[in-house]
Amino acid sequence: MLTFQILANGLVLGGLYACIASGFSLVWGVLNVINILHGSFIVLGGYLAFYAHAELGVHPFLSILIAAPLFYAAGYALQGALINRMIAAPVLLTLSLTFGLDLMLQNGMLLAFTADFRKLILDPPLGVLALGPVVIPVDRLAAMLLALALTGLLYLLLSRSRIGRAVVAVRMDREAAALMGVSVKRINAVTFGLGAMMAGASGPLLATIYPISPLAGTVYLGKAFVICVLGGLGSVPGAMVGGIALGIVESFGALWFGPEHATTLSFLLLIVVLLVRPTGLLGRKGYE
Amino acid sequence: MTKTPRLLFTLVAGMLAAGTATAQDVIRIGAPLPMTGPLSPEAVKQQRGYDLWAELANKAGGVKVGGKRMKVEIVYVDYQSNTPRAVQAAEKLITQDKVNFLFSPFGSGAAKAASSVSEKYQVPTIAATASSAQVYDQGYKYLFGTFTPNDTLTEPLSDMVRKQAAGVQRVAILARNDLFPLAIAQEMEKSAKKRGMNVVYFEKYAIGTLDHASALSQIKSQAPHWIFATGYTNDLILMRKQMGDLKIEAHVVTMIAAPAYQEWIDGTGKLAENVTSAAWWHPAVRYKGKDVFGTTENYVKLYQAKYKAIPDYAEASASAAGAIFQLAIEKAGTIDRQMVRDAIASLNEMTFWGPVKFGPTGQINSLEPPVFQIQKGKPLVLHPQAIRQGALQLGIK
Amino acid sequence: MKQGVLTGLALLAILCALPLGVDSYWLRLGTTMLMYGVLAMSWNFIGGMAGYPSFASAAFFGLGAYAGAVAQKFGLSMFIAWSLAGVVAAMFAAALGFALLRLRGHYFAIASLVVAEVLREIVNSATDLTGGGKGLNLPVPQMASIDDQARFFYYAMLGVAVLAFSAVFATQRSRLGFGLRCIRQNESAADMLGVNVTLYKVNAFILSGVFVGIAGAVYASWVHYIEPPDVFDVLYSVKAIVMVLLGGAGTLYGPLVGAVLFLSLEELVWRNYISVHTGMLGLLIVLLVLFLPKGILAFRPGRA
């Protein structure tokens, strides 16, 4: 019976992980930029939901509608103003750039929100769903479903819309896309905007579950790295598979080897996957 | 190209010019705090406590030193939640900022690491948040601490549960793998076994853990009567929420140290109900102190007026560290480090924090830490008997 | 060439004389700078010369620190413990190198980043051997005064730095250095021309690990109390990289210049801006990346 409960825990956790990683994976895959800011964007989205809920009574799930366009615009602007200047530079340089920007953002949040932990509490709580002896918290389930829906929307956007196909084209072959008349600069900015949007939108979802503090982003960033590699870089379905795989591995790892080894196990898995199958679990190279 | 170096140069020059002030008739106390990094919420508390004391002491004209009064100034340095930096910060405060005395950095680990610096320069140092006995048993003469050892928390707690909830037999312990949370969990294990209870689960979780569902599901399957969990505020908010998510029930749930913090109560909401904890101080304790704050009631009142909140033990301990320096300096009648050190070592005085008397190692040995329980959103004292505000409520859902 | 040697000797003379004129706070800073100098120079082997973006410095550092500390716990003398830490780090780097250096670019970066996390958790859970989350105390060397101690560790760290520097110097003039430059420019071509790329890369990785391991052990003795999160801190890797990028990758003096420059800036913002120093440091990094690409762009993997 414990096994089913752990499986349920892992699946729900995995849905949240997928949401954390999808935008990060997109930016990395398409732009070749490791965006260290991603974790802090999630936290900032969380603060937005927290204050909208505390001051105006806005439900956190509704805050996503506010967060998404705001973060898209901010990401678009940031890419256009700063990151585009370095887009052709080696990956370590863009990484240093976003690392520096992240230090600034974290410091700003520390000044604006103080270091105290905040927690968004839904009142009344959403309760739990009992399937026999297995219990699943409804808020997590809803967050997971929303997360998967968001990730799915991103996938549709990329595969069906004109601009989305241009993003995919740029990922596959930058030069060829430029020759075909795609404005690579604009697509870069759109991609970064989409990545920021996904981060900003997952903030409110996570705010119902995790305490928020200015530095909480570091842990999310660490998870995003692992998930991207597990699923394959730059692939939205990959992020979903990677996230769920990580959720399940961590949950069963904690059961079998003790909770202190759950993370270690996921990191070991990551190294093994890299060595055996560097393109990720899905093993597809192109962006779909 | 020439523009850029000039820009950098201006920046650097500006930084060099900023700050460099020294004053004469001021007592300077250095306070290395983890203002950034994972421990930063704790720095906020420490700073509130120190500031409240310094403000009050200065409002009265300053600290009495022999015939005159000297103002106090606290020099803060951020050590970025990084222990090596804490040691560096302590040395900087002593050699560069020329502080007279020092407050230790946060927690047992950093306080221990930095104590070698205070000892080297013979600077009296008070640790406001270090409880582990290993911090004080290095034979150092200049380090003092306001927390009694960890077992003074778990022992009265276990006694009370043993007496008032005879059915409690099975204990589950889940601890953060970190100096203080792990140390106190091990004390708890000893206290429980000593009373014939059966520890059915003892596991550690890694720092930065984002999910406790597996560990908690396993605990649930063991059906313990008493769940004892340790960690920092964020860990324990998440853990309490996940216990609710998994419908875990027990006679007693104890968490250390977060439930003493208002942020934890706010962050868990109704789930905070009936969770027990213990700490070195509680706003309900009643002492008539000889220090600058006087009674505990007065301390709480002053704190509320300034910060619009009820003080917790971490904030009060920081204020107490300041008040103890003041008592010692006034007793010594000088700010000579050696004399002040001797005055602290021989102190035997009542304060708003409780009776203050340091043992031979420098750790306080005169406190009786209260046990409390969250009832209707408020922490009520269950022990010691003299300041009891309520009875232990069994049952947690 | 001759001038280079003279510059080096002059620098060494200054570094040796430094402890005579400064108080122990500056001595502490000097020791820290030398330590980061070792980290930066070591990263230069794998990152600068071979062009592999390694984040493994933190893993080597922490491994060395704990190897040295545990060895002393079992009664080995300090110097033997330090040497042993170097050997452990080198062996670990060799094994790791054979496994990971088949990966390239991002994938190599991630894998090397994760190694430190894995080691940290292993050390954390091996409570009996390492004290786990409670940290580990090291014996304090018996010396006349604590000032002597500070000087001793300064010179010890200087010794490690000189070793690392000599290794860089020798490598650049050797067949290994030539091979690594070939690998950076075009690994497949180097392979076809008969360069044993795997062996060369593993050698570079060992060189990038051994001195960091020793530095970790010296550090542990210096602070005589270590905890897993402190010595396996990912910032050791990140800072080493930023320092090399600042000073110029693949060069002899670049990493040292970068280390001194970075730590001076960090110290400057740290002591002057109590609430915004991390932000200021971030701003400086951003400005340097954006406006000083010349100093930085010496590093271009995959390009001539």
First to last CA, chain B: 67
Predicted local distance difference test score (pLDDT) of residue C297: 42
pLDDT of residue C172: 87
Higher pLDDT, A124 or C117: C117
pLDDT band at C301 (very low <50, low <70, confident <90, very high): very low
Q: In a 3-state reduction of DSSP, which class is residue B299?
A: helix
* Residues of B whose CB is below 8 A from C32: 88
What is d(CA C97, CA A184) in angstroms, rounded to the nearest whole number? Answer: 37
Residues B161 and B252: beta-carbon distance below 8 Å: yes
Q: Residues 6 or more apart from B355 whose CB is under 8 A from it?
A: B287, B348, B349, B366, B367
Domain boundaries, chain A: 2-216
Sequence spans of domains, chain B: 24-148+285-357, 151-279+371-387
Within C74-133, where are the H helices?
Answer: 78-100, 105-125, 127-130
Picking from B8, B141, B176 by the largest number of C CB atoms within 10 A of its own CB, the best residue to mutate is B8
Mean pLDDT, all residues of chain C:
85
Task: Answer whether A185 touches B (CB < 8 Å).
Answer: no
Q: What is the CATH number of domain B24-148+285-357?
A: 3.40.50.2300
Residue of B nearest to C292 (CA): B4
What is the pLDDT averaged over residues C93-101?
92
Category of B79 on φ-ψ map: left (φ > 0), alpha (ψ -120 to 50) or beta: alpha
Q: Does A81 touch chain C (CB under 8 A)?
A: no
Q: What is the pLDDT of residue A188?
A: 85
Q: Which two tokens stand for residue C232?
A: 């396996």
Determine the pLDDT at residue C303. 38
Q: Residues B315, B49: contact at Cβ < 8 Å?
A: yes
Neighbours of chain A (3+ CB pairs under 8 A): B, C
Looking at the complex, report in whole angstroms how far the Cα of residue C121 sits from the nearest Cα belonging to chain A: 6
C19 vs A258, residue with greater confidence: A258
C32 has a chain B CB within 8 A of its CB: yes
Partners of C294 on chain B (C-beta within 8 Å) are 1
What pLDDT score does B327 carry? Answer: 93
Which tens digit of pLDDT belongs to each residue from A135-183?
A: 888 888 888 888 788 878 888 887 888 888 887 777 777 778 777 777 7
Task: Determine which of A116, A144, A213 to mutate to test the interface with B (most B C-beta atoms within 10 Å).
Answer: A116
Cβ of A260 within 8 Å of Cβ of B205? The answer is: yes
From residue B302, give the alpha-carbon distance in Å to each of A136, A279, B293, B347, C283. 46, 62, 9, 25, 40
Residue B30 backbone dihedrals phi, psi, to 5 degrees:
-85, 140
| Subunits with 3+ C-beta pairs closer than 8 A to C | A, B
Whether the bond between B384 and the residue before it is cis, its omega within 30 degrees of 0, is yes
- Residue C274 contacts B where some CB pair is shorter than 8 Å: yes
pLDDT score of B228 = 95
Interface check B10 vs C, CB under 8 A: no
Residue C302 has pLDDT above 70, yes or no: no
> B267, A128: Cβ pair inside 8 Å?
no
Residues with Cβ within 8 Å of C91's Cβ and at least 6 positions away in sequence, in order, are none
End-to-end CA distance of chain A: 38
Q: In sequence order, what DSSP letters do the residues of B183-196 get, joined into one string?
A: HHHHHHHHHHHHTT
Q: What is the pLDDT of residues C203-219, one digit of tens each?
A: 999 999 999 999 999 99
Q: What pLDDT sits at residue A284?
A: 52
Confidence of residue A280 (pLDDT cuts 50, 70, 90): low
Q: What is the ipTM of this complex?
A: 0.87
Which among B6, B75, B76, B83 is the top mutation candidate for probing chain C, defined by the most C β-carbons within 10 Å of its own β-carbon?
Answer: B83
pLDDT above 50 (res C304): no
B15 reaches C (C-beta below 8 A)? yes
CATH of span B151-279+371-387 = 3.40.50.2300
- Whole-number Å distance between alpha carbons of C206 and A22: 36
Residue C136 pLDDT? 84
Nearest chain B CA: its distance from A227 CA (Å): 14
Average per-residue pLDDT for chain A: 85
Which amino acid belongs to residue B362?
G
- Tokens (6 digits) for A95: 């990484």
Tens of each residue's pLDDT in chain B, 397 residues: 344 445 444 544 444 444 433 445 899 999 999 998 888 889 999 999 999 999 999 998 999 998 889 999 999 999 988 888 899 999 999 988 999 999 999 988 889 889 888 988 899 999 999 998 888 888 889 999 999 998 899 999 999 998 888 888 999 999 998 888 888 999 999 999 998 899 999 999 988 888 998 999 999 999 999 999 999 999 999 999 999 888 898 999 999 988 988 889 999 988 998 999 999 999 888 899 999 999 999 999 999 999 998 899 999 999 999 999 999 999 999 999 999 999 999 999 999 999 999 999 999 998 889 999 999 988 889 988 888 888 888 888 7
| Contact residues, chain B, for A115 at CB < 8 Å | 35, 40-41, 43-44
What is the distance, to the nearest Å, from the Cα of residue B287 to the centroid of all Cα atoms in its chain? 19
User: Full-prediction pTM beyond 0.90?
Assistant: no
CA–CA dist A222, A101 (Å, integer): 17
